[in-house]
Amino acid sequence: MQTYWRLLSYAKPIEKYAIPYVLVTVLAVIFNTLNLALLAPLLSTLFKEKATAVAKPESWVDIMDYFNYYVYQIQEQWGAFEALKWVCLCIFLSVLLSNTFRYIAQRVIENLRIYTLLNLRKSVFDQVMDLHLGYFNEQRKGNIIAKITSDVQVVQYSVTSTLQVLFKEPFQLLAYLFILFAISVKLTLFAILVIPVSAFVISKIVKRLKAQATEAQERFGLMVSYLDEALSGIKIIKAFNATERIKKRFHQENVEFSEIGKKMSYRQQLGAPVSELLGVVMVIIIVLYGGSLVISNQSELSASAFITYIAIFSQIMRPAKAITESFSSIHSGIAAGERVLQLIDEKAEIQDQPEAFQLNKLEKGIALKHVSFSYGQEKILKEISMVIPRGFTVALVGPSGGGKSTLMDLIPRFIDPQDGCVSFDGMDIKDVSSDSLRDLIGIVNQESILFHDTIANNIAFGKPTASMEEIQQAAKIANAEDFILKTPKGYHSNIGDRGTKLSGGQKQRICIARAVLKNPPILLLDEATSALDTESEFLVQDALFKLMKNRTTLVIAHRLSTIQNADLIVVLDQGRIIEKGTHYELLVQEGLYSNLIDKQKFTQV
């Protein structure tokens, strides 16, 4: 229940919806109960039961006596048919009011449901965007998508619908019991002994639903992950003739998810027929017992009152069934809610201190002092110390897996070191506002990260207020304007999902134009030309040289031309700096750098 109440907290301020909902629901239940209670005077009038003079009841609790009193008065003054017309009018008004209030209640609860969904989904997405990059290295994207979409939807309907049931149905049950006691105390006490049997049987049916719901949601997340991977890697899948294998893997996961869903449906659907059967059995028992009392004159019940009693008692199983089934629904909601809350509780990106310093410029340079970093038990960086002076270009080289990208991620504070510190102008970046820090940095990655939008909006992503003239100037510097003007709508052409309408070189030049427009004093380049053909690479490399002028640049490179022009080359291997120097200084040392050059690990351009 702790999970349930925490999920319900996303409906705050709940009183905005709860107060009107309670009022209209109470009225709907009252009039709905009267619909059935009015059967007694209707039947007594139709059956022409002999009216008995009764005194006006002193307490409103004796509601059935009120009906008898007023029916008697009407029959005495205007006759049976006039009494029938009045009873029919009362039934019509009662039905009209009960349905009107029920509709209003549904409107209110729907607003509550949407409001809860809005808050919960916002909280989950905000949390995901605040999580540190290391979290995404360990998680399947499909699982995250499933939690934001499917799981949140399950929580919305199961938790808020259960809230609706847990208020309305118990109240409706009490209203029915009130009328039943008003008709016959003895018969109702006997009936109450039978009701728990039905609840016990149904509870046994739904006992395993929570475990099944949890497993189903996990399977769904895995299936979405496979789908995302298949769509993202469709070219590679086709290139390696792996289509059938991927189809088989997805189909297998789909089958397992469907099997769990089928088992859950079977168990949920079993509740309705079992409940109906138990309800009929209970009605039969009441008919036999009550009928024997009426036949043997051991009860004061008239025929019309007894039929009304049976009609109301047959309805009492509906709220009882709804309450029991709501617990099966809440199992699914809580299982989904636990997954959503688990995501919300993940350790987010380290937040800035309230007094965090706003960094406006870089005057001296960037320094790493005794920095170490690990992913789990794996040590990625080990006691790294280096300086990137202002205006210098520093190249990171070394074998794959040596820690180059991890070291670069420390600069914009995508990750924080477990030991040591990273400083800007001697100030630890943990004391600096992350936003002001990243405002100084431009990044161009090996993978071109673009969005399903126009070329102009992708270039202006880091500076949404940029004018078209500024966007065009950035594109010219990035050697991108020629191909942009050849697209159907120029700068207003949509580039498709992840830039699928552009070539690799074109996408990279858009990314470079984005960095040019931002005009950052610090530039991070992560193998920005490694996946390009020769012609595209020349254009991109030329654009990068223009971008690097007069900036503090840290570059991960495998092109000899970039490395030769660097002010300092840092050689990383197995998380340690093993060599430092200029291109020619490192060649003279005849160490790992020289061996990499000899083995042509770097390409001449």
248-266 per-position pLDDT tens digit: 888 888 888 788 777 767 6
- Note the residue count of the chain: 605
Is residue 13 reached through a cis peptide bond, with omega within 30 degrees of 0 on the bond before it? yes
400 vs 403: CA distance, rounded Å: 8
Which of these, 325, 205, 320, 220, lies nearest to 266 by C-alpha position? 205
Residue 597 structure tokens: 């050059």
324 vs 272: CA distance, rounded Å: 11
Least confident interval from 281-290, 396-405, 428-437, 470-479: 281-290
The b-or-e profile of 588-605 (16+ CB within 10 A means b, else e) is eeeebbeebbeeeebeee
pLDDT of the residue at 267: 66
Question: 399 versus 536: which is more confidently predicted?
Answer: 399
Which amino acid type is present at position 224? V
Dihedral of CA atoms 124, 129, 133, 137 in degrees, nearest 10, equals 50
Rounded mean pLDDT of the chain?
Answer: 79
Average pLDDT score over residue span 455-467: 89
pLDDT of the residue at 533: 60
User: Residues 550-576: pLDDT tens digits?
Assistant: 889 999 876 676 688 889 999 999 999
Query: Can you name the CATH fold of 355-438+567-605?
Result: Rossmann fold (3.40.50)
Question: Which residues contact residue 469 at a Cβ distance below 8 angstroms, ignoring those fewer than 6 apart?
Answer: none
Question: Which residues contact residue 571 at a Cβ distance below 8 angstroms, ignoring those fewer than 6 apart?
Answer: 397, 398, 577, 578, 579, 580, 586, 591, 592, 593
Helices (H) and strands (E) in the chain, counts: 24, 10
Residue 185 structure tokens: 């105390």
Indicate if the alpha-carbon torsion angle 164, 169, 174, 180 is positive or negative: positive
Q: Are 555 and 396 in contact (CB under 8 A)?
A: yes
CA distance readout (Å), 476 to 51, 217, 241, 518, 551:
99, 49, 40, 14, 19
The DSSP secondary structure of 450-493, one letter per residue, reads --SSBHHHHHGGG-TT--HHHHHHHHHHTT-HHHHHHSTTGGG-
| Whether residue 603 has pLDDT greater than 60 | no
Least confident interval from 41-45, 257-261, 340-344: 41-45
pLDDT of the residue at 3: 74
pLDDT of the residue at 111: 85
CATH entry 3.90.220.20 includes domain 2-344: no
Domain coordinates in residue numbering, the chain:
2-344, 355-438+567-605
Most confidently modeled of 48-52, 211-215, 320-324, 419-423?
A: 419-423
CA distance readout (Å), 604 to 387, 527, 566:
27, 15, 15
| Whether residue 104 has pLDDT greater than 80 | yes
| Whether residue 422 has pLDDT greater than 90 | yes
Question: 462 versus 369: which is more confidently predicted?
Answer: 369
Pairing of strands 552-556, 393-397: parallel
The b-or-e profile of 314-349 (16+ CB within 10 A means b, else e) is bbbbebbbbbbbbbbbbbbbbbbbbbbbebeeeeeb
70 vs 56: CA distance, rounded Å: 8
What are the backbone dihedrals phi and psi of residue 278, each rounded to the nearest 5 degrees, phi first? -65, -35
Beta-bridge mates of residue 603: 559
pLDDT of the residue at 601: 52
User: Residues 271-299: pLDDT tens digits?
Assistant: 667 766 776 777 787 778 777 777 776 66
| Whether residue 204 has pLDDT greater than 70 | no
Question: 466 versus 43: which is more confidently predicted?
Answer: 466
Residue 511 structure tokens: 């990314």
| Whether residue 120 has pLDDT greater than 70 | yes
What are the backbone dihedrals phi and psi of residue 292, each rounded to the nearest 5 degrees, phi first? -65, -35
409 vs 86: CA distance, rounded Å: 81
465: left (phi over 0), alpha (psi -120 to 50) or beta: alpha
65 vs 17: CA distance, rounded Å: 37
76 vs 79: CA distance, rounded Å: 6
pLDDT-based confidence at 604, cuts 50/70/90? very low
Longest dimension (CA), the chain: 123
| Residue 367 DSSP class | E
| Residue 59 DSSP class | S
pLDDT of the residue at 326: 63
Q: Listing from the earlier edge strand, what are the strands of the sheet with 419-424?
A: 378-389, 365-375, 419-424, 427-428
Residue 562 structure tokens: 């970039």
Question: 282 versus 59: which is more confidently predicted?
Answer: 282
Pairing of strands 419-424, 568-573: unpaired
| Whether residue 461 has pLDDT greater than 90 | no
